[in-house]
A = this chain, B = another copy of it.
């Protein structure tokens, strides 16, 4: 029988998963921030990642529906406000559209989801299903990848601004508030998991949920890399260079 981990060991176990499996280690992510991608490849990333962004409030609404106190729901609903926006405050999804605008993609095309990779859709939908089908503890634990995002976001934004002339600070406005939001959200989720995993098998389930979520992020970059970088085998029906561009954008 497994023994219960102490709080510090349990947290260290979670952070170890991030150190080994978070998508900052993925070659596509490294090429993105090192300026090694073409404009077409950055477009493919922005297009596909939009689908992930668009489903985050859906995922969070399913979790919201499962929380049993006004206090917990107030805490969690902030995530939805951050992504969907409010009066006088653009949400994360609208800011992501500023990014797809900035790289020259047509807004209606991006929002339609036509042309995203099946690998993107299957990975993102797996995340939305996970928070419906697993325990609430696992659903919350699957958000813990945000523990690892703040520093990565800084590196990514600096790298992209430095290397790509088609990327501006406004294009990357999505990332401005994410480090603060991600820290607030992951502080809460981490404390929830440390407090509520009260049996060894619950600790294991939390660790596995975080591993699962790292796979959701990693598999999206695998699909992008395979289709658009190496070997560059674009599946039937997926976006091809020059498709879905803004009128003023011209050829990529």
Question: Chain A interface (Cβ within 8 Å of chain B)?
Answer: 20-21, 27, 118-119, 121-123, 125-126, 129, 211, 214-216, 218-219, 222-223, 225-227, 230-231, 233, 235-237
Instruction: Please tell me if the beta carbons of B230 and A218 are within 8 angstroms of each other in the complex.
Output: no
A126-B121, A219-B122 given as contacts; is B230 within 8 A of A211 (CB)? no
Contact of A218 among B129, B231, B236 (CB under 8 A): B236
Instruction: Please tell me if the beta carbons of B123 and A215 are within 8 angstroms of each other in the complex.
Output: no
Dominant secondary structure at the A interface? helix
Closest CB of chain B to A151's CB: distance in Å? 19
A177, B139: Cα distance in complex, Å? 42
A33, B203: Cα distance in complex, Å? 44
A126, B120: Cα distance in complex, Å? 11
Closest CB of chain B to A24's CB: distance in Å? 12
Residue of chain B at shortest CB distance from A125:
B126
A231, B226: Cα distance in complex, Å? 8
Closest CB of chain B to A53's CB: distance in Å? 18
A241, B123: Cα distance in complex, Å? 25
A21-B236, A21-B237, A230-B230 given as contacts; is B225 within 8 A of A118 (CB)? no
User: Given known contacts A219-B223, A225-B226, A231-B231, what 19 new A-B pairs fall within 8 Å (CB)?
Assistant: A27-B233, A118-B123, A118-B216, A118-B222, A119-B122, A119-B222, A119-B223, A122-B219, A126-B126, A211-B237, A215-B235, A215-B237, A218-B236, A222-B223, A222-B226, A222-B233, A225-B231, A225-B233, A230-B231
Residue of chain B at shortest CB distance from A226:
B226
Closest CB of chain B to A239's CB: distance in Å? 14
Closest CB of chain B to A198's CB: distance in Å? 26
Q: For A211, what are the chain B residues with a Cβ–Cβ distance below 8 Å? A: 237
